[in-house]
Structure 1
């Protein structure tokens, strides 16, 4: 038995073999597929459920109003017009803003042909009067029937003459009272129809707020109710309803026509009138305004927003938010309602919170 010692060259060969085996092992490892790293998923946040708004149950002075647009008018004003048809304006004696006295001539129509006919009729009537005087002298010698016929014919001529004069008188317009000409609708030479507006005369010392309203608009409105009038460029003035409009047969269709389809002139009786507590300076006829009539008023009314009120069939209720975050349904009784507030007559107390929809 013997032991073989490694020589130097043998050691070198052994080392080389070991190194090669190590390289082969290392390269073999690098050829294996890499393990996949775990995918990192984004964190999913659950959607938040939107919280419904909550409102305080409060008290306020609750008012129900009826509103209308109108303007300043005079309580004594009149639209002037002719009742003769298809004639031309011969003379126009007034202009807008002019002061007039009662009985002053405003305008007249061209009635030259009618005036000539009246002059001829008056001349002829003078002869008729002479003939009638002679008839009266001969009455005792005349047949009673013949005398009565002549008497009737004479009276007919007298009446025809009066009718002609009356028609001519209609061709002249005169101011019915002292006032101011607030508007003129025609010019000299214009051809006008019967009832066409010629001008408007008003007593500007009797100005007030007014509005045209239909019967439907006037539901719940009565004389004496408080009102707030907002006058353009002046501001708000308080007052009360003094007069309701008077509706006539020709107003039923809302067209305000009469006289065979002619537009009927406006009158103070056609308006709802508000008597102002004070007349502010600068108020002039025709100024636009708005009127709010307070038909109902309640102090310390319990109110909620309309969006908090719920209905289901015949049931009316709200959701009350409790301090611990819970909600409960409460049946309520409703009173007045406006565009922004609902009165709760029964079911809630001030300080509670209700949930909106």
Structure 2
């Protein structure tokens, strides 16, 4: 009996203990969560930017002007009518034809002028008869009256001569033997005076040439080295032989002081490059890139443009050596997009600081 009571009492105590333990465990979950400690990232101090350093070097330094020109002929002429507002009667050549000096190229329809000339000649014949009669009675006439009639007669003679000249302007002929490299009219076209009609060129005398602006002409000189590259890929080196007339504004394309026609190309308007032989495949009219070397210095002391500094009239660089940085005044020579020539202040092998 006692044993049963003791076992029951023990079982009850065990149950109470388990209940208390459960309450304790559940009570823990009811407590507020502790705040997690914030993780602060490491702060890395910024690196001070390192300016580039360059070694003072030597090289062959060139300054050049690049021009866009074309292949032209040393013997070339643009043909045009000096009389305008007339229709083309006929064209006797086509582009690419070979012509000889004096050969007829084209004619204007001057039939009305010729008709007027015939009538004026008939009228002049009557005037000649009257003049012969005047000469027979000269001694009986007042001298002033005679001179007045004589002058009037000579004016009519001059008028006939002028009309013949005007009619002759209705035809253009080849000025020399060559090739028709351009032809811009056909039969029936209405033309203006001095409008280009045809170009005759001697295709055995081809050279590279370029028109220059005033600024470009100030940079180049006869004898300077020039490299010519044509549009089909060939290139060759030569020298400048001729510069354009300074009185001619090459970019205007207008009528010159000598009465040249508007838009007419003249050899005098071009810078000419003398070469021994054109690149293979060169032909008149092909585009040519001409690089003219305006200055060349061997073993020039150079630095990059970014290493050069200036304040007011002072030009200097920062030199870096074992003792640190120091400023050094320099004298500058020619400059290119990639190099600055130093005439005084630096020696090869030194280090300079860029920006």
Partner residue of 1:337? 335
Distance 2:301 2:27 in 1: 83
1:337/1:145 CA distance change after superposition, 3 Å: same
Q: Say if 2:254 is the partner of 1:244.
A: no
Equivalent residue of 1:319, what SS? strand
Distance 2:163 2:105 in 1: 21
Equivalent residue of 2:252, what SS? coil
User: 1:206-236: CA deviations, max 9, x gaps?
Assistant: 2111111122222232211111222111332
1:158/1:27 CA distance change after superposition, 3 Å: same
Equivalent residue of 1:351, what SS? coil
Equivalent residue of 1:121, what SS? helix
The answer on whether the counterparts of 1:101 and 1:177 sit within 8 Å (CA) in structure 2 is yes
**Deviation at residue 202 of structure 1 after TM alignment:** 1.2
Partner residue of 1:44? 43
1:312/1:149 CA distance change after superposition, 3 Å: closer
State TM-score, norm by structure 2: 0.85
1:147/1:352 CA distance change after superposition, 3 Å: same
The alignment covers a number of residue pairs equal to 345
Distance 1:122 1:60 in 2: 80
State TM-score, norm by structure 1: 0.85
Cα root mean square deviation, aligned = 3.2
Distance 1:29 1:39 in 2: 28
Distance 1:39 1:137 in 2: 138
Distance 1:219 1:189 in 2: 46
Distance 1:37 1:133 in 2: 138
The answer on whether the counterparts of 1:258 and 1:264 sit within 8 Å (CA) in structure 2 is no
**Deviation at residue 246 of structure 1 after TM alignment:** 1.1
The answer on whether the counterparts of 2:232 and 2:281 sit within 8 Å (CA) in structure 1 is no
**Deviation at residue 191 of structure 1 after TM alignment:** 0.8
Partner residue of 1:312? 311
Partner residue of 2:54? 55
Alignment of 1:78-117 (within 5 A): 78-117=77-116
254-263 vs 266-275, which moves further: 254-263
**Deviation at residue 297 of structure 1 after TM alignment:** 1.0
1:35/1:234 CA distance change after superposition, 3 Å: closer
The answer on whether the counterparts of 1:69 and 1:289 sit within 8 Å (CA) in structure 2 is yes
Distance 1:252 1:288 in 2: 17
**Deviation at residue 89 of structure 1 after TM alignment:** 0.9
1:184/1:27 CA distance change after superposition, 3 Å: same
Distance 2:327 2:145 in 1: 102
Alignment of 1:1-357 (within 5 A): 27=24, 31=28, 38-248=37-247, 251=249, 254-257=252-255, 263-322=262-321, 326-357=324-355
Distance 2:25 2:79 in 1: 120
1:142/1:342 CA distance change after superposition, 3 Å: same
Gap regions ≥5 residues in structure 1? 1-7
